[in-house]
Structures are given as C-alpha cells and as structure tokens.
Amino acid sequence: MTVRCAEVALLAPLPRPLTYLLPDDLAMQVQPGMRVKVPLGRRSAVGVVLAVTDDCSLPRLKPVDEVLDELPLLNEKLLEFIRRASAYYVHPLGLALKTALPAGLGSLQSAPKIKQTKVYCRTAQQLELRGAMQRQVLDYIEQHQPVDLAVLREQFSSPYSVLQRLESLDLIRYDVQETARDPFVGLNVSADLPQVLTTEQASAVDAISAATAEQAFVPFLLHGVTGSGKTEVYLQSIQAVLAAGNQALVLVPEIALTPQLVARFRARFEAQQRRVGVLHSGMSAAERYDMWRAIVRDGRDTGEGDGVDIVIGARSAVFAPLSRLGIIVVDEEHDDSYKQSEGFRYQGRDLALMRGQMEKVPVVLGSATPALTSYRRAQQGALRCLPLPQRIGDRTLPQVELVDMRTATVEGGLSEPLIEAIDERLQRGEQSLLLLNRRGFSPYLLCGDCGGSYRCPNCDITLTWHRQVAQLRCHYCDYMQPPKDCCPQCGGAAMEPEGMGTERLAAELQQRFPGARIARMDRDTTSAKGAQQALVSKMEARQVDILVGTQMVAKGHDFAAVTLVGILDADATLNFPDFRAAERSFSLLAQVAGRAGRGELQGAVIVQTYAPDNPVLSCAVDHDYHTFAEQELPMRQMLLYPPYGYLVNLLISGLDRKSVENCAEQLAGMLDGTAGVEVLGPAACPLFRLRNRYRMQILLKSETRPPLRQLLAGAAQWRKNFPATVSLAIDVDPVDMM
C-alpha cells in the first residue's frame, strides 16, 4: 500500500523541515507551496509543504490536520529560491518562508477576506407595489443590475425595509461574493505614451530587450545621472517583456517611492489592459493577501479577475509569486533600505540577482550613484554597464555651491546665501527643497546648569524633542515621555532645545517667510496611510513652496518646479564610525542635489558644511561619481573591505550585560585562528544597549567567500553553547553595524 507523506517547513525557528503523513482525504489535494495545519507537540502550527512523497517508510508519523489553501501560494521555482536564500543568510527556512509570505498567513487564523453583496431582479413581471419607494428601488435594480448593496444604501434612504418587502415578494435575489480590495481606489491616472529616446536610452533598451528575447540571465548596471530618463528605459524594456507574454518585477528601496512610480506605470500600461500590482508593508495585511492571491492565480479562469502583469514593491516584493517572470528591475540599487535589518537579514538587490540567475531572466540595477560593490563588479565585467551620462532634453545638472559655515553669517541654522536663494524662488513662484536628515524639533533638551539631558531608559541614546506633540521620543524603541519642569539630574529649570531637526527648521522658515506654504516630509508626517501620496500630489500641483525633509526627499522624486535644493548639516554622515560613511554621504548629496532643475528651469544646490575641502564634497559639487569611486576603492582594497573582501557580523545580545560579554568572548575565542578568516572583536556595538538589550559584535572578514561559508556551516553549534537568555544573530554582508 502506497503511503503518501509531505515534507513541511514549519513557520517557526526549527533547524530543519519535518515529515508528516497525508491522510487519504488530503493525499491528492496537497501540493508543494501550500500551507497546512499540522500537530507540533501539544499544539498546532502552520507550515509550507516543500515536497510530497509517494512511498514513505518513516514510522509513527503524525498526520496533516488541514490544508489551508486552494492553490499553492509559492511555486516550485520560488520555493527553491527561498531555500537558497535561507541557506546563504544562515536563517531557518521556516522563518524565511514566513518573511516571504504576506503578513497574516503565518498563523492559524483564516486569511482576511471581505464580502460584497449584489442585488439582482428575479423576474421582469412586477406586482402591484403599494409604495412608491418600492417601485423606485426595483426600477433602479432592473436598470443597473447587478447593484452593490452599498450603492443602494447611498442612493436611497433606509432601503433595507424596502428590500425585505421585495425579497418576500420574490422580486429580487441576493448574491454574496468574495471580492478583492483595490489598492488604487480613488487614484486615477491619465494615459501616457512612450517618449522619444535619446541615443543612450535607445542603446540601453536594445541591450535589455535582446536579453529578454533570449530568456537569458544578464545582469545590467544602468548608471545614469539624475534626470537621465532611467524610468523610461524601464518602461520601454518592460513593454517588450509584456508583449512576449511574460511578467515584470520592479523593486524600489522605500515605500515612499512606490506611489509616484506606480502612477507612471499605471499611466503607461493600464490603457493596454495590463494590470499593475503593488506589494509593500505600507499596505494592510488584507490588501497584501488579496494582491498575493491575484498574482498566484495569474489569470486562471477562477472568476476572480485577470492576473497581474507588473509587480512594484519594496524589498519583500522580491518574493512575489510571479510564474512568468521575464525581467527584474531594481531601482536606486545603491540604497541601504534594500537590506533587512532584523530577522531574516537578506539584501533585496542581491536576492534579485539570485532570482534572475535561477529563472534565467535579465536583471537591471539602476542608479545615479551605484553601490561601490556594483561599480566594481561592472569594472570586472560581472555586470554589463549601460551609461546614461546626460540629462534628457539637454538639461544641465544643477550648479552646486558650498557654504563654509565656519565663516558664514547664520540665522536659525540657515546661511545668508541659502536664505537669499529661497527668497528668490518664492518671488519667482518656484519651489525649494531642504534636506536635514534629522527629524523632530531638536535632538535633545540640554540643561544649561549641569549639561544634563533626558535619556531613553531602554537605549543608550538621548531622547529627541518633538515640540508639536510635546513629547520626548526615542527613535529606536519608540519610548515616549513628556518633559518634566526641571532637569532630571540637577533639578534646574534651564532645559533648552539644542540642535535642529526638520520640525524646528520648518518653524524657522515659517517665521522668516510667513507667506510661504511649507510642508515636512519625514516619518512623523507620513506615517498615516496615504499621507505620503497626498504630500507628493501637493508638490506636483505646486501647492507647496518649500519642502523640508529627511533623506526621504532625496529618493527618486521628480518635481519639475523644484529649482533649489538646500542641504543642511552635510557633514553629519561623513563622521559616522563606518567604512561606508563616505559612500553614503556622496550618494545622499548627489541624490538630493539631483532633485533640482528636473524641469525646464535651471537648478541650483547650496550645501552648508564645516568641511568644504573634504574630497567627498568636492566630487559631489562636480557630480563626479567616477572620481569619487577611484578615490574610495583603493582605501577599501587596503583594508579588505567590500568589494575586495567579504564580511559577516555576529551580533550577540541579551538582557544581562555580563552574560552577553562572556558569550561574546567565548565565541570569539572559538573562532579565532580559523584559516582565511580575520576575527575582529568582540566589541560593544556603537549603540551598546538597544531596546533594553546589551549588544556585542564580532566581525568576520575574508578575502574570499568560501572560508566564511565553511565557518558558518557550524553556526548551529555556536548557539548551543549560549544560555537561553542570550541570542545570536548572523548578518551576512552587513550594511548597518551600529
């Protein structure tokens, strides 16, 4: 007798999949990629089926309790992709699968669904109806059937008693259907036609289209200055992919970029009856589930609409279950937001390359300031470089001026040249954009008597003062408290805000330019759903004169009327204790400078700095990425940092400081002396205590990858030597080591 069983990866931190028996009533229903409910000890758990075996000889297997899906949520290619990603980042497969699936599908609760009630006329013959309202409602249903119940509620006051009467007379019937949520409800776009390409754009589209036609994995680096038309290259390359019957995946680094890019794609493709879908954490769990299911169904004849042709989303969209994938685009590929900082610490850009290689499709990495690792790979020929050295329409890059803050006249954090430039734009009806990469009113409140300040009780950091809500906040653990009337250390009453954040800058600008329309773009003002899109729409409609924001304003926005960009505190990121500090600073400056002069008018950039001779700033002034890269790469090579070496960061954390320090010392001693691997540390993290946990780190460095992979093969044993109160996180190819 054939016994069927299933290999199941439980969505839990287990080291390996488990095998379960398939009962006869479920044996033919279960497929790889489906979720199942299974027993685990004395409780039930959710898992994903990895494989089904016809002949199973293992004794005493527990049976699968229930199948939770009608169709596989993950196809076999995607399952194998997640397997590889899990192995590369040394993360349990079940938790990797849980990360890949939409939020809410990792529990035993039923998937979120909504119902839609439609009303139909049952017969054309009408009885003698007593009330005029009954006849009006019935006539309306006859003319517009099927009619949503919600629409009837809007058209007629108190329709329920009328509908009950019509139903009792057998004149109408109800049909209750499950319906999907529309993430674009109320967001209309106008049709957009392909633009005439420049010579460089046409060459890029031709190269990408040739690779898609061959169905071959070819990694491209689309290196184009800001405003050079990279998005148009994406659009026209994807057009060829759709014409061949395939699908496209477009990744963006931040949710904030999604609405504007989605609008461009919808304007281009919805007129062609192509459906654009979105996947990101800013959507509700129900919306993500609906979108995921629409992608999975892929236009099957299920009565639930057409499939999705293009998926746009943040890093987690790299796991989208596209079955006819034809191209992957990674926009702003340099951005650190592609790296997941907790849990499954994957790098979305690198996984896009891995998936493209597995599915044999081209991958396009686009940026004006590529990551130095990508730039080096292009130099070595591992990426095919497609340059776009000029802005479209022969528009010039903005003029950049450095203001030496050591000698400048400064009022309220603004230098005299910047104040004059803003005033000129206001008089001409143009827009200005100011970058200050620090939110809140001020970084801290300082006691003028003793120098004391308010500190977070859970983290080694001062609390940021948010004046508008009268709260001191920790931006790491979200701890909040109102300020007291006196200093927490000496009891003095001389607590004053020190430094400047976006809230304070906006207030200073409003005081200096009382007639200006000023808006802020930071996490405080864009946390509500739709707030980001509303702000972008106001900028596009020229309802804002001055936009103040954190690094969110630097990422991909295209505002034609912005002719001035001001950068405050440009030196802040240069002084970070990180070997990537120069790269991050150049990228941020170049990207935000690129927001100026994207329309017909010439743009200008004013950078306030205390280090005007810094070579990073000099390269940013000249928009000279290549010189910056050639200056920075030799220093990386000397120290064997990426792209000339490979890193793994081991993060040891726990509630007890002594236990954490002992475990870190023990692990470092165990790893020391490994051939081909340099062990740095243990050392306290720059933020030693975070969310009430003490943190130590050990950095592993190697010139080649194999010694690190061999070392990580024994990671399961490392954890066994730790007490339950101490955890170990493995961060392969780390980005943030704070």
pLDDT in tens, 497-553: 999 999 999 999 999 999 999 999 988 888 777 777 788 888 888 999 999 998 888
The DSSP line for 133-154 is HHHHHHHHHHHH-SEEHHHHHH
Q: What is the pLDDT of residue 110?
A: 53
724: three-class secondary structure by DSSP: coil
Which band of pLDDT confidence, cut at 50, 70 and 90, is reported for residue 716?
confident
> What type of residue is 264?
R
How many residues would you count in the chain?
Answer: 738
- With CA atoms as reference, report the closest residue to 153 among 145, 144, 162: 162
The pairing of strands 410-411 and 414-415 is antiparallel
Confidence label for 304 from pLDDT (cuts 50, 70 and 90): very low
Query: Going by C-beta distance under 8 Å and a sequence separation of 6 or more, which residues neighbour residue 359?
Result: 77, 217, 325
| Residue 51 β-bridge partners | 7
Average pLDDT score over residue span 723-728? 93
Report pTM.
0.88
- Coil vs helix vs strand at 512: helix
The pLDDT of residue 241 = 95
Inter-residue contact 266 to 278 (CB < 8 Å)? no
Predicted confidence band at 303 (pLDDT cuts at 50, 70, 90)? very low
Whether the CB-CB separation of 386 and 221 falls below 8 Å is answered with yes
Amino acid 487: pLDDT: 87
How far apart (Å, rounded) are the C-alpha atoms in residues 54 and 508?
A: 72
Nearest partner of 525 among 567, 466, 570, 480, judged by Cα: 466
Under DSSP, the state recorded for 4 is: -
Share of the chain above pLDDT 90, in %: 59
Tell me how crowded residue 312 is: count the other CB atoms within 10 A of its CB. Answer: 26
Contacts 24+ apart (CB under 8 A), 633-639: 633/372, 633/376, 636/372, 636/579, 639/579
Tokens of 81: 């992709």
Q: Please, what are the domains in the chain? A: 5-100 (3.40.1440.60), 123-170 (no CATH), 199-393 (3.40.50.300), 395-442+499-634 (3.40.50.300), 646-732 (3.30.70.600)
Split at pLDDT 50, 70, 90, the class of 161 is: confident
- Give residue 116's pLDDT: 56
pLDDT given at position 416: 94
Q: Per-residue confidence at 109, pLDDT binned at 50, 70, 90? A: low
Mean pLDDT of 279-302: 76
Q: Which helix (H) or strand (E) holds 116?
A: strand 114-121
Q: Give the per-residue pLDDT at 440.
A: 93
What's phi and psi for 270, nearest 5 deg? -70, -30
> In this predicted structure, which of 163-177, 468-482, 565-579, 637-651 has the lowest mean pLDDT?
163-177
Q: Does the structure show a pLDDT above 80 at 302? A: no
Residue 404 and residue 418 in contact, taking contact as beta carbons nearer than 8 Å: no
Please compute the mean of the pLDDT values over residues 247-266 and round it to a whole number: 85
pLDDT tops 70 at residue 297: yes
CA angle 11, 16, 19 (to 5 degrees): 85
Considering just the CA atoms, what is the radius of gyration of the chain in Å? 29
Structure letter (DSSP) for residue 482? P
CB 94 within 8 A of CB 13: yes
Q: What is the DSSP letter of 63?
A: B
Cα separation, 144 vs 172, whole angstroms: 13
CA distance 3 to 26: 12
Mean pLDDT over 71-93 rounds to: 95
- pLDDT category of residue 301 using cuts at 50, 70 and 90: very low
Bridge partners of 693? 690
For residue 329, what pLDDT is reported?
98
- Over residues 582-593, the mean pLDDT reads 90
pLDDT level of residue 128 (50, 70, 90 thresholds): low
Segment 210-229 mean pLDDT:
94
| Contact between 559 and 433 (Cβ < 8 Å) | yes
Banded pLDDT at 421 (limits 50, 70, 90): very high
Average pLDDT, integer, range 132-146: 80
The residue that leads in pLDDT, 148 or 525, is 525
The end-to-end CA distance of the chain, in Å, is 58
